[in-house]
Amino acid sequence: MLSESLDQLRSAVRNVPDFPKPGILFKDITPVLADARLMNLAIDGMLEFFADQKVDKVVGIDARGFIFGALMAQRLGAGFVPVRKKGKLPWKTRGVDYSLEYGTNSVEMHVDALAPGERVVLADDLLATGGTADAALQLIRESGATLLGSVFFIELAFLEGRQKLSHGGSIHSLLTF
Ligand code: AMP
């Protein structure tokens, strides 16, 4: 993707200090979402990593991953599958617990959301410590689907989240901070 386009996307991401708690510099993507041209660039850029690969399903993580994942899926003519926080999905689920700085969290996917052998890409807005994405990747693996890789709109490289993604597939991010 053109470096000019990447610069435009990068400068549209708003930094919000001390949100949601002191010491966190929150990357606010709503200015990108609000601009159709920028959002097109973002989706184009995220899809480039999987150009020429057949993708059956895009898995998006609750909640901002739904936006990027669903738009990617539409462009690809692929289906979209949500990974949600525990207790939100109505049908039979499979879940994974993962640890946070303090305590644990759980994510779930419907048991029939992915079929063995389907070719799957994971999408989310941001890779921070990698705990959430790694749990989602585990769910994809357990389904028997073929994991092509993961793509993030933003990667916070200093948190080294990609080291935590232990379930294989390629790892890509459009913007690195
Ligand atoms: P993690 O499990 O640490 O990789 O965090 C994953 C999720 O937390 C991402 O999907 C983001 O939506 C959110 N998140 C974590 N840190 C930030 C941040 N600094 N700015 C915006 N979102 C964040």
- What CATH number does the domain containing 76 carry? 3.40.50.2020
101 pLDDT exceeds 80?
no
Rounded CA-CA distance 6/45 in Å is 9
Q: Is residue 144 part of a domain?
A: yes
Mean pLDDT over 117-127 rounds to 98
Pairing of strands 79-85, 57-61: parallel
Residue 130 lies in a domain: yes
- Quote the pLDDT of residue 77: 98
> Is 39 a member of any domain?
no
Please, how many CA atoms are within 13 Å of residue 166, restricted to the half-sphere of its CB?
7
Whether residue 167 is contained in a domain is answered as yes
In the prediction, which pLDDT does 1 show?
87
pTM of the model: 0.97
Tell whether the model's pLDDT for residue 103 goes beyond 90: no
Q: Which residue has the tokens 């480039």?
A: 48
Give the model confidence (pLDDT) of 51-85 as tens digits. 999 999 999 999 999 999 999 999 999 999 999 99
Identify whether 114 is part of a domain. yes
**Per the structure, how many domains does the chain have?**
1
Domain-embedded: residue 160: yes
Whether residue 37 lies in the annotated active site = no
Confidence (pLDDT) at 64:
98
- Residue 119 domain boundaries: 52-176
First vs last Cα of the chain: how many Å apart?
17
Which residue out of 14, 84, 101, 142 is catalytically annotated? 101
Helix or strand run (H / E) with residue 21: none
Q: What is the Å distance from ligand 1's center to 72 Cα? A: 20
* Dist. CA 126 → ligand 1 center (Å): 6
Average pLDDT estimate for 80-108? 95
- The tokens for 51 are 């150009």
The pLDDT value given to residue 141: 97
Asked whether residue 11 is assigned to any structural domain, the reply reads: no
- Which residues make Cβ contacts (< 8 Å) with residue 163, sequence separation at least 6? 130
Q: Does the pLDDT of residue 91 top 80, yes or no?
A: yes
Q: What is the pLDDT of residues 17-64, one digit of tens each?
A: 999 999 999 999 999 999 999 999 999 999 999 999 999 999 999 999
Instruction: Give a yes or no: residue 154 inside a domain.
Output: yes
Q: Is 60's C-beta closer than 6 angstroms to any atom of ligand 1? A: no
Q: Does pLDDT of 130 surpass 80?
A: yes
What value does the mean pLDDT take over residues 78-102?
95
